[in-house]
Each structure stands twice: as structure tokens, then as C-alpha cells.
A and B are shown apart, each in its own frame.
Chain A
Amino acid sequence: MNEEWPLFEVFIRSRSGLEHKHVGSLHAADARMAIEHARDVYTRRQEGVSIWVMRSADIIASDPGEAEALFEPARDKVYRHPTFYVIPDEVKNL
């Protein structure tokens, strides 16, 4: 086997006004080919109006082992949500 084409992650904006969303990955020789392949693989039914691709190797991800340390501190800060505050029913528009 030859050296394999690099892996790209594909993100699709399904229609204007919405954010790009990760849909999967594919192999391509370069970025332009990755866009063309993404068109064929991920938008055969008008699933998108815009495509982003990036080399998978360039993604820096958080470590699942550190999930606790990263996300746990937000758990007890319920006062960041509006429902934390008790307001009498007769007060409107708040």
C-alpha cells in the first residue's frame, strides 16, 4: 500500500443561519479534494450550503480523562441559570 491520503474532518452548514456541524471524516490528497469529496459523500441530498474541512491531525481535543476536572466546576453553579431565582408570580416581564 502507498502512503495514505491524510484524514480530514468535515463540517457542514445545513442552511444559512445555522452553524457548521461536524458530520464525519474522509481521506483526500489536499484541502480542495477534501471539499470535493465532502460534497459527494455528505451532501447528496442538499444537506448543505457550505462546507468546512480541516486536517484531523490539526484538531486539539480535550482529554476524556480530564472531563471531571474541566466540567465538574460548573455543576454546582446553578445560580447561572435564570430558574435559580424565585420571583413572585405577579411580577411580569422578568
Chain B
Amino acid sequence: MYTQALDTHGKEPLPAGEGGAVAQRFQARVDADEKIEPKDWMPDAYRQTLIRQISQHAHSEIVGMLPEGNWITRAPTLRRKAVLIAKVQDEGGHGMYLYSAAETLGVARAELFEQLLSGAAKYSSIFNYPTLTWADIGAIGWLVDGAAIMNQIPICRCSYGPYARAMVRICKEESFHQRQGFEIMLTLARGSAAQRAMAQDALNRWWWPSIMMFGPSDADSKHTAQSMRWKIKRFSNDELRQKFIDITVPQAFFLGLAIPDRELHWNESTQHYDIGAIDWAEFHAVLKGNGPCNRERLEARRGAYESGRWVREAAAAHAAKERARTASTGGSTAQTGRT
């Protein structure tokens, strides 16, 4: 998965009913680390924020299958191919867990699909970059899934029960994604000069977009305070970004690859790595739909939706027929009862 702090780009929902007794009781429960469940009272702004965040997260999983799916037929070995299929299938599964969590808030899945296909919904900017070589599959697993894990682990403790539970399941599955990516990078880094060059090129292209996955800097992130108060978010974008940089830079050293940032250096006084300036113009351009692959990604999703239409309709027609047949004979063809 790939959540991203995109919430600066939606409409700002103002906390409704603030100050009311119910609202105070709600906040007290959140403060006490109690989970909020679907049928519990919640402020409308909390509900809307969650619907937006969870559905963006789900869309990111679904669109995220595209850049990697691009390499399934060209994976260099049968082992790599089996692994990549499993990983892409996991991403699809993560999308399903998340859509199901979003639906508990009262939004229909069809509506969420509609938002994705119409281009109204956002998804993580990272998937609008192309996968040009096999090394990109390694770089995605290592960096993109690595950044995603960093973002997602705190969401396992989110105040909204269904989102937190979906996230626990996702995080359990995500670790293999990152490790298989690093293994690809390691194999290339220990290979021929051409393979090392391919790994370096992939790192050059994926480093900055991965750094941007943490969203705008704290100074430009309007919603952080409210999301933290609601315990939807536990750490700020910059905190998570710094953590990711600090653990990833030594991994690049181990691979013998160079991080594409001349200003990168260890800061003895803060005990963190300092990085050069992030190109926020690029980030905003990609989010607005002007990344290298935005149009291609949406066309692929729309194509999949349209070419699957007859299957959905046939299955629905078959189910209706079965129901009619069961009703007329009084029997059932499906296995029922507790087994």
C-alpha cells in the first residue's frame, strides 16, 4: 500500500458540532485510545476525512498494480515472476480491504470507483512514474514499499477500528514486498557493470518521488493538527520522511549505490541525515495530473472497468436466475448452514 498525505488537496471539512456534549464524549473516547466503530456517533468532518483518506489509500493500491504489472511477463526468472504476481495480487487485496473499510462509513463502493475513474479522486503520486527497466521493480519494492510501511505502521493504531484493522493486515503482508525489492537491488548491485548501472539508474529515478510520498512539508500541511487530534495521524509528514531517510541511506551504502543528492550528509548535531531541497513543483504537477503516466494509468483503469462490465453483468444475471429458480423450487443449490 501506499498511503500518502494528500489531505491538503481536498476540501477542508470543519469540525462540526464542536463543543456539543456528544462531540466532547467522542473526543474523550479518542483521547482515551478507545476505537471508534462504524455505528458509533462521530463528527461528520471525522467521517468525511476518513472516507477521503481511506479511499485515496485504496485507489493507490489499485493503481499501484499497474507499474509493477508491467513487468510480470518480463520478469527475468520463474521465481521472480511468481513473486511479482504474488506481490501485485497483494496490492489488489489491500485495495479490497481498504474499500471495505471505507464502506463501513456509509459510502458505496460504486461511488468510490466512480471517483477514481472520473479522475476526481487522488491517489499516491508515485504511481504516475513509469517502470522502464527490471531494476525499477527492485527500487519500487525497496523504496516505495519501504516508504509506504513507514507511513502505514502508525495507522495500525488509528482511532477508527475498521481502518486500523485493515492496516494491521496490510502491514503484515507488506514486509515481504520490501524485502523482495531489496533482494532484486542486491542481486543487480552484485552483478555485472551493466546490472549495477541499471540499479543506480533506478535509484536515481525513484529516490525523490519516494521522498515525496510523505506528502507536503509540515509547514504546508494544513490538516495535520486536526488529524492528530482525532488520532487518524500519529506523526507529521516530515517526521516520517526523516525516519525513512535515516534508515534507507545506510541500505543504499550497503548496496554500493549513490543517493542522487549532492547535499545529502550526516548531521552530527541532530543525528539525522540532512537532504537537499525537495522539488515541490514536481510533486504538485504530478498530483494535478501532469506526471509522466497520469493519463495512461487512468486509461488503464477505465479500460479494465469497461472490459469487465460484461462479466459483472453476466454474474449478476446468473445470480438473479438462481434466486428465481430457488424461490420456485423451494430448494437451494448453495451449501447453507454452519459448517
Dominant secondary structure at the B interface: helix
Q: Is A4 a contact partner of B108 (Cβ separation < 8 A)?
A: yes
In the complex, the answer to whether B40 meets A26 with C-beta atoms within 8 Å is no
Select which of B40, B90, B110, B323 is within 8 A of A44 by beta carbon.
B90
Contact B96 A41 (CB under 8 A): yes
B103 engages A5 (CB within 8 Å): no
Q: Give CA–CA (A33, B311) in the complex, Å.
A: 12
**Do B173 and A45 touch (CB < 8 A)?**
yes
A69 lies within 8 A of chain B by Cβ: no
Measured between beta carbons, the chain A residues less than 8 angstroms from B86 are 44
Contacts of B322 in A (CB 8 A): 30
Residues of chain A within 8 A (CB-CB) of B40 are 64
How many chain A residues touch B (CB < 8 A): the figure is 24
Contact check, B110 vs A50: say whether CB atoms are below 8 A apart.
Answer: no
Residues of B within 8 A of A61 (CB): 39
Question: Considering only CB atoms, which chain B residue lies closest to A37 in the complex?
Answer: B96
Q: Decide if B319 touches A1 in the complex (CB within 8 Å).
A: no
Q: Across the interface, which residues of A come within 8 angstroms of B39, CB to CB?
A: 61, 63-64
Interface assignment of B89: CB less than 8 Å from any CB of chain A? yes
C-alpha gap A31/B326 in the complex (Å):
13
Interface size class of B (residues with CB under 8 A): 20 to 34
B334 touches A30 (CB 8 A): yes
Closest-by-CB residue of A relative to B39 is A64
A41-B97, A44-B93 known; A5 vs B316 contact (CB < 8 Å): yes
Contact with B along A41-61 (1 / 0, CB 8 A): 100110000101000000001
CB distance from A8 to the nearest CB of B (A): 10
B318 touches A4 (CB 8 A): no
Interface residues of B in 302-339 (CB under 8 A from A): 309, 312-313, 315-316, 318-319, 322-323, 334, 338-339
List 27 A-B pairs, Cβ < 8 Å: A1-B110, A2-B316, A4-B110, A5-B315, A24-B100, A24-B166, A25-B100, A25-B104, A29-B315, A29-B316, A29-B318, A30-B318, A30-B322, A40-B93, A41-B93, A41-B96, A41-B97, A44-B89, A44-B90, A44-B173, A45-B173, A50-B339, A52-B338, A63-B39, A64-B37, A64-B40, A64-B41
By a beta-carbon cutoff of 8 Å, the part of chain A in contact with chain B is 1-5, 7, 24-27, 29-33, 40-41, 44-45, 50, 52, 61, 63-64
Q: Which B residues fall within an 8 A CB radius of A?
A: 37, 39-41, 86, 89-90, 93, 96-97, 100-101, 103-104, 108-110, 113-114, 165-166, 173, 309, 312-313, 315-316, 318-319, 322-323, 334, 338-339
